[in-house]
Amino acid sequence: MHAADERLRRHVLVADRPGLVLDVHLEPYEFANVGTPVVTVGDVRRPYVDIFVPQARIAEAVVGGPARVEVEAAALPLRGRVEYIGNRMEFTPRFLFSERELPNLVIPVRVRIDDPDATLRAGAPAFVTLQDA
């Protein structure tokens, strides 16, 4: 009996942290190859937004520094914190189309958002203002 329980335990999916199942990629009894995603799990109370800061303004981004995040889904601005600052500059991402912004080099910055009510949805446009610590 112990061997059967152990065999079943090896086939149970367990997330390594709390989250919400956002998408199921396989139906019950379908086989998954090694490395094939089965579900997508997200931390909907602590989403993030990736922004691109022009090189001339990178001093405004400090890991742990506060940020103000505005989205249409939330009536009031949300609070965030700078979680990551990239090490490499890159050309303006293809999804920023302003003629004024095209020639700039930018640095990717990730801002983690405090959203305890899980009001945000993936892909929602967000406007971020980095604030003084």
What CATH number does residue 67 fall under?
A: 2.40.30.170
Domain identity same for 78 and 123: yes
- What's residue 122's pLDDT? 79
Q: Show the tokens assigned to 77.
A: 């601005």
Domain residues for 64?
48-130
Domain identity same for 90 and 71: yes
Domain identity same for 123 and 88: yes
DSSP state of 73: T
Q: Which residues contact 119 (CB under 8 A, 6 or more apart)?
A: 73, 74
Domain identity same for 32 and 52: no
Domain identity same for 72 and 7: no
Domain identity same for 59 and 22: no
Rounded Cα distance between 59 and 88, Å, is: 15
Domain identity same for 38 and 54: no
Full-model pTM: 0.68
- What's residue 70's pLDDT? 92
Please report, in tens digits, the pLDDT of each residue of the chain (133 residues total): 788 888 878 878 788 888 888 899 999 888 889 889 999 888 888 899 999 988 888 899 999 999 999 988 778 899 999 999 998 877 665 555 566 655 567 889 999 999 888 888 878 889 999 987 6
Separation of first and last alpha carbons in the chain: 58
Q: How many domains does the chain have?
A: 2
Domain identity same for 31 and 59: no
Domain identity same for 66 and 124: yes
